[in-house]
Amino acid sequence: MRRDLRLHDHPALGAASETGRVLPVFVLDPVLLESAGAPRVAFLYRTLRALDEDLRRRGGRLALCAGRPEEVVPRLVAEVGASAVHISEDFGPYGKKRDRTVEMALGRVPLVRTGSPYAVSPKELRASTGTAFRVFSAFARAWAERALPAPCEPEPAKWAALPSWCTTVDSLPPEPALPRGMVLPLAGEAAGLAAWEDFRSSRLASYEDRRDRVDLAGTSRLSVYIKWGSLHARTLLASLGPADKRFRQELAWREFYASVLDYWPESARQVLQPRAAGWRWDNDEELWQAWAEGQTGYPLVDAAMRQLLAQGWVHNRARMVTASFLVNDLHLDWRRGARHFMRYLVDGDLASNQHGWQWVAGTGTDPAPYPRIFNPVAQARRFDPEGAYVRRWVPELAQLYPPAIFEPWRLPAGPPAGYPAPVVDHSLERLEALRRRVAHS
């Protein structure tokens, strides 16, 4: 089990169960653990504990192995005499390579791929050119025709007894220290299903109207569960109705980016748009620090960056505004911002994150011929109209209300004590960003 840490609606588990007794295994792969930030590792450990609890209630246990998958999986297979290894197919650049290596190391024992973390397999949909779709709207049309699979609910598995020498979640390493004060959501499948039920019954109907407001709890906050597969998109899609078009479309964005990354794996690190290859980025350490610490003097940007450090989650609109600020106002490389996000996001997902960043930077899948430069003040007025989001995350501005909270530097005495003046002038940097695009394209 990897990014499919649940027991319901699990095609790979269903396929394994059909052939006999099942020993669920999770490999603590040092390559992945080293690159994941503390919040994601801590949430993973909690998810594994919850999964083990769920298994125990059904008479099973989760076997936990630490080491390189191509070494520990064949060893375990030999020791328990397994006839096959079942997985949900992985489409990330590392995951695909790892699975091929494990497959070779397994020799005659088959590695059976059934299902994936997506409702539609990323390699299933192709544009007329034969490549993956590069434009979301065309992908979404093709995806909508296929994304109707029924949830998979096979007979309950018969669990194999855990061999006495096998380690379990009881030997998980201590959780890495979280950034000070960070609070993570409850982990595991039951928590994910409860969060989905809560959203479905109380907020799904108003999702389209409220999803862009950073001050409201208008979105599902299911990304952390979807990331580790505690919930599968298929489970959610199966209970959506015709009125839930917008929510379905957001799930499609995730699948779109997975398909782009599957086809162009190098786009995890390199720009997707050839015209953007020559764009130049600055390297100003002070500006970087101001952004990363939420000290830019632009309240919406600072609120977003502080929410990231406090919760490991940020509202989508706020992610776009703060990413645009790094790229277009500070002229810093999107890859640096993407790395920072991956370090702190609990839902950090290579495809959605790198391509979310590339979309905002104008280096990726956005087909717009003009750069989308978000105005952090106009965005705050529109999507945080009372300033409540900023007041929550930027305590120095807790006494301010509109319009002062949008531009505290315009107060007669300047910004309140402890809050910085803007580190750059948005209107000037916007022009500079446009100049650079023309000069370097």
Ligand X SMILES: Cc1cc2nc3c(=O)[nH]c(=O)nc-3n(C[C@H](O)[C@H](O)[C@H](O)COP(=O)(O)OP(=O)(O)OC[C@H]3O[C@@H](n4cnc5c(N)ncnc54)[C@H](O)[C@@H]3O)c2cc1C
Residue ranges that bind ligand X, judged by CB under 6 A: 211, 219-223, 226-227, 250-251, 253-254, 257, 315-316, 319-320, 323, 341, 345, 347-349, 352-353, 356-357, 360
**String of b and e for 2-35 (b: at least 16 CB within 10 Å)?**
bbbbbbebbbbbbbbbeeeebbbbbbbbeebeee
Query: Is 357 among the residues known to form the active site?
Result: yes
Which residue in the list 143, 228, 253, 291 is annotated as catalytic? Answer: 253
Q: How many CB atoms lie within 10 A of CB 110?
A: 12
Q: How far is the CB of 317 from ligand X (least distance, A)?
A: 8
Tokens 């600072």 -> residue = 302
Between 70 and 302, name the residue whose CB sits nearer to ligand X.
302
Which residue in the list 53, 71, 175, 316 is annotated as catalytic? Answer: 316
Task: Supply the Cα-derived Rg of the chain in whole angstroms.
Answer: 23
Amino acid 187 reads A
Which residue in the list 281, 409, 429, 432 is annotated as catalytic? Answer: 281
Q: Which long-range contacts (CB under 8 A, 24 or more apart) does 409-413 make?
A: 409/297
Tokens 């994304």 -> residue = 147
Q: Are 363 and 334 in contact (CB under 8 A)?
A: yes
Which residue in the list 159, 313, 334, 393 is annotated as catalytic? Answer: 334
Q: How far apart are CA 378 and CA 172, in angstroms?
A: 47
Between 200 and 381, name the residue whose CB sits nearer to ligand X.
200
Q: Which of 374, 348, 181 lies closest to 254 in space, CA to CA?
A: 348
Query: Is 286 among the residues known to form the active site?
Result: no
| 61 token code pair | 């246990």
Which residue in the list 53, 103, 175, 250 is annotated as catalytic? Answer: 250
Q: How far is the CB of 440 from ligand X (least distance, A)?
A: 22
Kind and range of the H or E element at 228?
helix 223-228
**Dihedral (Cα; 248, 271, 301, 436), 10-degree rounding:** -130
Which residue in the list 228, 357, 359, 393 is annotated as catalytic? Answer: 357
Q: How far is the CB of 420 from ligand X (least distance, A)?
A: 23
**By beta-carbon distance, which residue lies closest to ligand X?**
356
Query: Is 359 among the residues known to form the active site?
Result: no
Between 17 and 365, name the residue whose CB sits nearer to ligand X.
365
Between 159 and 357, name the residue whose CB sits nearer to ligand X.
357
Pairing of strands 85-87, 63-66: unpaired
Query: Is 255 among the residues known to form the active site?
Result: no
Q: How far is the CB of 323 from ligand X (least distance, A)?
A: 4
Q: Which of 218, 197, 198, 215 lies closest to 207 in space, CA to CA?
A: 218
Q: How far is the CB of 44 from ligand X (least distance, A)?
A: 14
| 108 token code pair | 């005659």
Between 219 and 295, name the residue whose CB sits nearer to ligand X.
219
Between 10 and 317, name the residue whose CB sits nearer to ligand X.
317
Q: How far is the CB of 347 from ligand X (least distance, A)?
A: 4
The residues annotated with a catalytic role in the active site are 250, 253, 281, 316, 334, 357
